Amino acid sequence: MTTAVERPTLKAKERPGDRIFSTSTIVSGSLILAILAAVAVFLLVQSLPAFVADPEKFKGDATNFWQYVGPLAFGTLWSAFLALLMAVPIAIGIALFISHYAPRKLAQGLGYLIDLLAAVPSVVFGLWGIGVLAPLVQPFYTNLVEWFGWFPLFAGPVSGTGRTTLTVAIVLAVMVLPIITALSREIFLQTPVLYEEASLALGATRWEMITMAVLPFGRAGIISASMLGLGRALGETMAVAMVLSPSRDVIFQLLTSQNPTTIAANIALNFPEANGVGVNILLATGLILFVITLVVNMIARVIINRRKAFSGAN
């Protein structure tokens, strides 16, 4: 009777470099979560006095924190939504032109230019909005109110300076344009050549090939890029503070001199003069902005997970 002899299993010796790399990745991932948790705890602790503050501590007609932060949250979401509405179609068009239409040398030059635009400081965009864009579009706003004043968004009276919600949205759209364009371009370039050649072999035109192969493949990536741009627009401070003529009202009109300000711009404008509970109130509005950003990113992640099939974001 023969018995099987068990052979000793050889265990690969872990190299020091592998051990260091593994430990560093774990520490880095844990550090991100720790920093995020620390910021959330700090904002929450510092915000507690604002929730029970006396009504006279709030500026304007607000008698409690929620009345105070409500118009600010509306202005933040409204201006960011308008910016994204303008930036996303243009960014997708530029990305498609660079990746599938432009000659290689021209595509490289445009790519560098788009990347350079992302490095421009926000204060420069603010100065451009005040000194160039607002005076330039003000006559157009006047005509827009005369022609389409019956539409609620374009109702008057028109602003005499051009520093309106629509102007801020245009500035924000220009600021987020390079982010969405650069990411969308990289996603479109990752489309498998087999998909593109199969579409063309079946008789599709270039545009039909893009609609059948490129855009479906990059749909989740476009959503991810748009959400990153939205995060930039939600948190933008200096450009909004410099361009906008702010008020603490919920106003949908885009061309009037009374415009809802954003949370970030309100903090920047009022923090130097704040003291005591006033600082806690501003930090509480920062907590609301923090929550809004997290909710937006969670919604984006849910949308992306539902569209993973045939996607370049897997």
| Mean pLDDT, range 205-211, rounded to an integer | 85
Which has the minimum average pLDDT: 22-26, 67-71, 93-97, 270-274?
Answer: 270-274
| pLDDT greater at residue 58 or residue 103 | 103
Phi, psi of 28, rounded to the nearest 5 degrees: -65, -45
| Residue type at 159 in one-letter notation | S
The token duo for 238 is 């200096």
Contact by Cβ (8 Å): 99, 185? yes
E-strand stretches of 213-271: 246-247, 259-260
**Strand pairing partners for 147?**
none
Average pLDDT, the chain: 83
User: Does residue 314 surpass a pLDDT of 50?
Assistant: no
User: Does residue 313 surpass a pLDDT of 80?
Assistant: no
User: Does residue 1 surpass a pLDDT of 80?
Assistant: no
Percent of the chain with pLDDT over 90: 9
The token duo for 92 is 């997708």
Tell whether the torsion through CA atoms of 196, 200, 206 and 212 is positive or negative.
negative
pLDDT at 247: 77
E-strand stretches of the chain: 246-247, 259-260
Pairing of strands 246-247, 259-260: parallel
Contact by Cβ (8 Å): 43, 283? yes
Which has the minimum average pLDDT: 128-132, 154-158, 271-275, 303-307?
Answer: 303-307
Where does the pLDDT of residue 312 fall: very low under 50, low under 70, confident under 90, or very high at 90 and above? very low
What is the spatial distance between Cα 180 and Cα 173, in angstroms, rounded to a whole number?
Answer: 10
Length of the chain: 314
| Mean pLDDT, range 199-205, rounded to an integer | 82
pLDDT at 310: 45
H runs (alpha helix) in 97-191: 104-117, 122-128, 134-148, 165-189
Percent of the chain with pLDDT over 70: 92
- Give tens-digit pLDDT for 42-67: 988 888 888 887 777 777 677 788 88
User: Does residue 87 surpass a pLDDT of 80?
Assistant: yes
Given the structure tokens 């620390």, which residue do they identify? 38
Contact by Cβ (8 Å): 281, 46? no
| Mean pLDDT, range 286-308, rounded to an integer | 81
| Mean pLDDT, range 79-88, rounded to an integer | 92
| Mean pLDDT, range 177-192, rounded to an integer | 88
- Give tens-digit pLDDT for 216-268: 888 888 888 888 888 888 888 888 888 887 777 788 888 888 888 888 888 88
The token duo for 101 is 């239409």
The token duo for 196 is 């593109």
| pLDDT greater at residue 94 or residue 305 | 94
The token duo for 70 is 């409500």
User: Does residue 3 surpass a pLDDT of 70?
Assistant: no
| Mean pLDDT, range 115-134, rounded to an integer | 86
Tell which residue, 111, 84, 88, 117, has the closest CA to residue 99.
111
What is the spatial distance between Cα 138 and Cα 75, in angstroms, rounded to a whole number?
Answer: 21
**Strand pairing partners for 43?**
none
Structural domains of the chain ordered from first start? 76-312 (1.10.3720.10)
Given the structure tokens 């600010």, which residue do they identify? 72
